[in-house]
Amino acid sequence: MITLAAAFGLWGINDIFRGGNYDNDVAVVGDAKVTTVEYDRELRAAMRNQGQRMGDPNLTMEQARNLGITRTVLDRVINRTALDTEVKKLGLSVGNDTVVAAIRQLPQFQSEGGTFSRALLQETLKQNGMNEQMFEEGIREDMARTQLIGSAIDWMDIPPTMARLLFAYLNQLRTAEYIVFTPDMAGPVRAPGDAEIDAYYKANGTRFSTPEYREIEYVEISTDKFSGKVEVAEADIKKEYDTHKETYVKPEEREIQQINFPSKQTADAAHQKITTGTSFADIAHGMGLKDNELNLGTFPKSGLDPRLADAAFAVPEGGATAPVQGPFGWVIMRVTKITPGVDKKYEDVRDTIRAQMAKGQAMGKAIEAANGFEDARAGGATMADAAAKVELDAVHVAAVDKNGLAPDGAKVNLPADPKFLQQVFVAEAGEEGDIFQTDDEHSFAIKVVGVRPPAPRPLDQVRDQVVKEWSEAERARQLAAHVKSLAEEARRNGNLNAVAAATGHQPVTSQPMRRDAGNEIFSQPVLAQLFAAPPGSVVYGPLGKGAGYVIARAAGVNNLDPQKDPGAYENNRRQLGQQLAGDLIQSMALSARNNAGTTINEQAYNRVVGGSQ
């Protein structure tokens, strides 16, 4: 079952701001709707994950679009919704007891002692504006969907013959001799004539035009706007401290193991062995005790029998006590873990509590303002008038481009989150958009007052730029022609001798490569050629990273024998089975989508992803 902690992000301030406007639904699957809030949440999570894999934690929305993440996530959310409709149609359900048991096992609701904490559940639900019924229904839907999918793929396995063939195909290794060509190897580039400059300028006019500028009006609704209007009474701060005093004042606790002995003599003998190097566990095992029979529990000093407390709280972590006579005989105790006590006086945490309470009150005022703002707009008020009614300001920006620059090149003072500008440039001119939330938890409403389309700049203003781009294009053309000529000669000769003579560089032999493992030298198109060609063949194509080319001669071929690496073979076979199961799940989802009927709201989609596709 998918970890459900992230599901809390589905219910937040955005839902309050959205109201009941179904224009914010990205897709409709039968009677079910995929909201922009749900889609945006999953998209942001996918972008963070992809960014971490790429080593770029600040993956932009434009990069996400170019990588296909935006559409992939949309398909995933729609597929899940479609499967949920199929679950309902088939009448699959999960009983209350099963749902409750699953919730009790979720790690975010476990206390320090490892038991379910209803207080943690209630606090988390409260913070996210949810009740238990809403959360239980979310769990129930996920578990029912898992039943449907599991029933279809439990039997899934890939035939051995197919597994061996695919294993050999996927794990084949090849080496190549290669020579790299960089742009500086294209040779000198002549200066362009006036006619060539003019022709290039006309053919690529959009690159030498002014950007599109937009005149906008926007209103910001955030806790920052109300934090200065919040006052927290001293009595309320003290009450909050007293109500949650166990958070601020906790005694030291110790996790204790214990061995019981029939007499003081046997306890003394055991203690003597411990002091000379025998472990506490070995003593216990020698008496026939199992590890789980040693655990006494975790206690503050006041929670232990007074006859044991002083001894248990006198030894360091990992240490064992001398024999102690307890209520049920002689014992030796071992302290396995010490949790230091907390003693934060009211004066120490007063400012922190006040800040937390002020933030909560400011959030409440922001929500009230958002609702009042929307009510005023629904009643016909302009954006500026609606903002004034809730003591907010409507900010006017005369002109801004996609990079946040004014026509004079100066940086426009705008909200820092890139999602703000993305929304500005997907909004329809003249329309007042719905409130949206940026990643820094600020919310905005925007109106595009006017659009100034791109306009060509005169040639005399951009002549230097035109000459530079023409020269770069000519250098790339010369390099491509030079590489193609040398590659054709190498193919005729069956070696790279002529290439080496022309460049002054000797061929380099690569490390063994897999067909799906491109690198800075070998791009995926070049690897595809290498693995499709017989040994001795010459191929060429773009570098894996940066501008340039590589000419390569296929050299060694190594076919991995499944019997020599059975572990890798079984792992590969298992992965192929999982992929086959994934294909089946995808087919189930597509069938469910078709049966339910699915429509996608491209306008709402573009509002989230910040582009027109």
Average confidence (pLDDT) over 338-352: 85
Q: Coil, strand or helix: which one is 56?
A: coil
Q: Coil, strand or helix: which one is 235?
A: helix
Sequence-distant (6+) residues with CB within 8 A of 403 are: 211
Domain boundary residue among 283, 307, 340?
A: 340
**Which tens digits make up the pLDDT trace of 437-474?**
888 778 899 999 999 998 888 998 899 999 999 999 99
544 located within any domain: yes
Burial class (CB within 10 angstroms; exposed 0-12, middle 13-18, buried 19+) of 91: exposed
Distance separating alpha carbons of residues 420 and 417, to the nearest angstrom = 6
Asked if the model's pLDDT at residue 286 lies above 80, the reply is yes
> pLDDT grade, residue 6 (50/70/90)?
very low
Average confidence (pLDDT) over 502-506: 92
104 located within any domain: yes
237 located within any domain: no
Phi, psi of 513 (to 5 degrees): -125, 145
208 located within any domain: no
Question: Which pLDDT value is given to residue 152?
Answer: 62
- Specify whether 110 is located in the same domain as 22: yes
41 located within any domain: yes
- Beta carbons of 193 and 522 less than 8 angstroms apart: no
> pLDDT grade, residue 31 (50/70/90)?
confident
- CATH of residue 369: 3.10.50
- Specify whether 397 is located in the same domain as 477: no
Torsion of CA 543, 545, 548, 554, to 10 degrees: -20
- Beta carbons of 459 and 201 less than 8 angstroms apart: yes
- Beta carbons of 259 and 280 less than 8 angstroms apart: yes
Domain boundary residue among 294, 311, 340?
A: 340
Determine which of 77-86, 132-141, 466-475 has the lowest per-residue pLDDT on average.
Answer: 132-141
Distance separating alpha carbons of residues 613 and 608, to the nearest angstrom = 12
- Specify whether 324 is located in the same domain as 365: no
Determine which of 32-46, 72-86, 146-160, 468-482 has the lowest per-residue pLDDT on average.
Answer: 146-160
Question: Which pLDDT value is given to residue 611?
Answer: 57
Angstrom CA distances, 261 to 126, 268, 327, 332, 350, stand at 50, 9, 12, 8, 50
Question: Which pLDDT value is given to residue 129?
Answer: 61
**Which tens digits make up the pLDDT trace of 542-600?**
999 888 999 999 998 888 777 777 878 878 777 777 777 777 778 888 888 888 888 99
132 located within any domain: yes
Distance separating alpha carbons of residues 255 and 114, to the nearest angstrom = 13
Asked if the model's pLDDT at residue 228 lies above 90, the reply is no
Sequence-distant (6+) residues with CB within 8 A of 283 are: 259, 270, 273, 274, 332
Annotate 441-510 with three-state secondary structure: CCEEEEEEEEEECCCECCHHHHHHHHHHHHHHHHHHHHHHHHHHHHHHHHHHHCCCHHHHHHHCCCCEEC
- Specify whether 277 is located in the same domain as 410: no
- Specify whether 283 is located in the same domain as 407: no
Q: Identify which of 275, 274, 251 has the alpha carbon closest to the alpha carbon of residue 338.
A: 251
Q: Identify which of 85, 87, 88, 59 has the alpha carbon closest to the alpha carbon of residue 73.
A: 59
> pLDDT grade, residue 482 (50/70/90)?
very high
Pairing type for strands 443-452 and 213-221 reads: antiparallel
Angstrom CA distances, 449 to 383, 432, 452, stand at 11, 9, 10
What's the chain's average pLDDT?
84
Angstrom CA distances, 347 to 160, 244, 354, stand at 70, 15, 11
Provide, rounded to the nearest whole percent, the portion of the chain with pLDDT above 90.
33
- Specify whether 146 is located in the same domain as 21: yes
Residue 323's domain comprises: 252-340
- Beta carbons of 99 and 139 less than 8 angstroms apart: yes
Distance separating alpha carbons of residues 311 and 590, to the nearest angstrom = 67
- Specify whether 484 is located in the same domain as 364: no
Pairing type for strands 538-542 and 508-509 reads: unpaired
163 located within any domain: no
Domain boundary residue among 430, 452, 474?
A: 452
Its sign, for the CA torsion 24, 28, 32, 36, is negative
Give the distance, in angstroms, between the CA of residue 544 and the centroid of all CA atoms in the same chain.
Answer: 26
| Count: domains in the chain | 4
- Specify whether 604 is located in the same domain as 533: no
- Specify whether 308 is located in the same domain as 411: no
287 located within any domain: yes
- Specify whether 381 is located in the same domain as 336: no
- CATH of residue 601: 1.10.4030
- Specify whether 218 is located in the same domain as 364: yes
Its sign, for the CA torsion 84, 88, 89, 93, is positive
- CATH of residue 293: 3.10.50.40
Its sign, for the CA torsion 52, 56, 57, 62, is negative
Asked if the model's pLDDT at residue 501 lies above 50, the reply is yes
Q: Where are the beta strands (DSSP E) in 458-613?
A: 508-509, 538-542, 549-558, 598-600
- Beta carbons of 572 and 171 less than 8 angstroms apart: yes
- Specify whether 145 is located in the same domain as 21: yes
Sequence-distant (6+) residues with CB within 8 A of 368 are: 390
Burial class (CB within 10 angstroms; exposed 0-12, middle 13-18, buried 19+) of 437: buried
Reading the block at residue 36, the tokens are 């922009």
